[in-house]
Amino acid sequence: MPESLLQRTINLKTATAIVIGTIIGSGIFMRPAEMASLLGSPLQIMGVWVVAGIFTMLSVMVLAEVAAMLPDPGGPYAFMQHMYGDFWAYLYGWSAFAVINCASTAGISFIAAQYMEYFFTFPRFSIEIEQSVRIHLPFVGILFPLENIGVKTVSIFIILILSFISYRSTKAGGRIQVIFTIAKVLAILLLIFGLFFSGKGNWRNLYENSEQIRPAGFALIAAWVAACNGALQALDGCNNMLYMTGEIKDPGRTIPRALFLGLSAAIGIYLVINMAMLYVLPVDTMAGSALVASDAAKVSFGLIGGGIIALLITISVIGTTQSNVFTSPRMTFAMARNNHFFAAAGKVHPMFNTPGNALIIHLAVMIIMTLSGSYIILTDMYIFISWVFNLMMMAGLFILRRKYPDRHRPYRVWGFPWMPIIVIAFNAFYLGITLYDDVAHYLRGETKVMNSVLGLSVVAMGIPLYYYFKRTNKSANR
């Protein structure tokens, strides 16, 4: 792969902040209520977070070996190239560009704008005007670009500001990420201490089960699977730091340490904040809560608690948006440097030494994604596609062990080969269940869009582009 020309300016502190900042978003403020309604047991809720954390950590261990051995620009795109060759590397890069990164960033910024409505009322069109413009995608569903236009406009403004900062300076983007991560963690710690020391909770809530929710047998297994899905989605995001492997100092040591430190911190924060919310809210109350963190804060702090939580979630989600805006264009930049994308995206800004054109291209696509759909559509679409390629990445470890048996590995995954096999089996099971449920809900008329199928359709759109770039590259070489 050609030299990236981007400088290695990312240290351990910034890399760890990117991991924490990407993982901790809105999921921790939404998922506990869903888990309570599924399991009805505080101890099982905590167990779900532990199990999901273990599986995420095992997946990260695989990525740590690969990333430490191959600290190339573009991160996972470069890993896929070594594992499966140009076609699958390109398809992953295209998917990361069009679905995983741009769609996820648009969806996350949409959530930040939604929570800002706690303090401001954003305008929106009437239902008639909102539904007057519709985009019908065959076998996928219907999109309404004018729906919730006020929130979408604020979401676009957030992306614009963060993109401008990253365009001007990599160091400034990194500093902003560190600041948001520190603010996010401090705000969450403040909430945790506030709940525990409010004097309005009960320690019995941490072990007393629900009287109404008592799944057993196969229903208990299904409830655990569904609860684990939510926890795994809330823990997703470690990959973003790997997009910057070509800019990380001492990558062989820094990458594994940042992944472990960042993920461990996120898991620990998630466990403690769940305990704090359960301390204030009995599991039955939690199960019926629409905004569980807000309801817990209202019990402890009164009506002002809702505003505190809205501000906390806004800070948290903007920090996650910044992480995505900052890291994701690096993969598109690496693709362009390898003749797998438009050449302009591979140019380094002459003054700012940033992947400026790649940032602009991502910004344009994120704006389109924001206008096209809601948070649920964008999030479910990117999570499914992300897990498809995560499965391939886990399997690729076996290919690299066979392909490069003597290559220096600063870090080796523990428990090889059985540990990666378990992770692969779990990923495959998750994908099968998700696709089945998505199609079944659409056929029953419960959803308007098959989000996983929409994601696969966007991925397939990249195939003709691959052959276009391949043909163009051959012509240029001749």
Whether the CA torsion 197, 198, 200, 201 is positive or negative: it is negative
Question: pLDDT tens digits for 421-466?
Answer: 988 988 888 788 878 877 877 788 777 677 778 788 888 888 998 9
**Does residue 235 surpass a pLDDT of 80?**
yes
**Does residue 4 surpass a pLDDT of 50?**
no
3-state secondary structure the chain: CCCCCCCCCECHHHHHHHHHHHHCCCHHHHHHHHHHHHHCCHHHHHHHHHHHHHHHHHHHHHHHHHHHHCCCCCCHHHHHHHHHCHHHHHHHHHHHHHHHHHHHHHHHHHHHHHHHCCCCCCCCCCHHHHCCCCEEECCCEEECCCCCHHHHHHHHHHHHHHHHHHHHCHHHHHHHHHHHHHHHHHHHHHHHHHHHCCCCCCHHHHCCCCCCCCCCCHHHHHHHHHHHHHHHHHCCCCHHHHCCHHHECCHHHHHHHHHHHHHHHHHHHHHHHHHHHHHHCCHHHHHCCCCHHHHHHHHHHCCHHHHHHHHHHHHHHHHHHHHHHHHCHHHHHHHHHCCCCCHHHHCCCCCCCCCHHHHHHHHHHHHHHHHHCCHHHHHHHHHHHHHHHHHHHHHHHHHHHHHCCCCCCCCCCCCCCHHHHHHHHHHHHHHHHHHHHHHHHHHCCCCCECHHHHHHHHHHCHHHHHHHHHHHHHHHHC
**Does residue 352 surpass a pLDDT of 70?**
yes
> Can you give the residue ranges of every domain in the chain?
12-477
Residue 389 in contact with residue 95, Cβ under 8 Å?
A: yes
**Does residue 161 surpass a pLDDT of 90?**
yes
So what's the pLDDT on residue 28?
78
Instruction: Retrieve residue 196's tokens.
Output: 């525990």
So what's the pLDDT on residue 185?
81
pLDDT confidence tier of residue 378, bands split at 50, 70 and 90: low
Span 244-264, average pLDDT = 84
pLDDT confidence tier of residue 3, bands split at 50, 70 and 90: very low
**Does residue 478 surpass a pLDDT of 70?**
no
> What number of other Cβ atoms are within 10 A of residue 60's Cβ?
22
pLDDT confidence tier of residue 2, bands split at 50, 70 and 90: very low
**Residue percentage of the chain with pLDDT more than 90:** 14
Give the Cα separation of 13 and 407 in Å (integer): 28
Distance of CA 376 to the CA centre of its chain: 13
Give the Cα separation of 467 and 381 in Å (integer): 25
Question: pLDDT tens digits for 26-60?
Answer: 677 778 888 888 888 999 999 999 988 888 888 88
Residue 149 in contact with residue 159, Cβ under 8 Å?
A: no
> What number of other Cβ atoms are within 10 A of residue 273's Cβ?
22
The owner of tokens 């929710």 is 213
How many residues are recorded in the chain?
A: 478
So what's the pLDDT on residue 138?
64
Question: pLDDT tens digits for 307-316?
Answer: 777 787 788 8
**CATH 3.40.630.30 at 12-477, yes or no:** no
The residue among 245, 243, 176 whose CA lies nearest residue 21 is 176
Question: pLDDT tens digits for 68-117?
Answer: 888 877 678 888 989 999 899 899 888 888 877 787 788 788 878 887 88
pTM higher than 0.85, yes or no? no
Give the Cα separation of 351 and 168 in Å (integer): 9
So what's the pLDDT on residue 336?
87
Helices 292-301 and 27-39, interaxial angle, to 10°?
Answer: 100
The owner of tokens 């160091």 is 171
So what's the pLDDT on residue 82?
92
7-11, 42-46, 405-409: which is most confident: 42-46
First to last CA, the chain: 20
Distance of CA 86 to the CA centre of its chain: 25
Q: CA distances (Å), 410 to each of 25, 70, 213, 242, 254, in order? A: 31, 10, 48, 16, 10
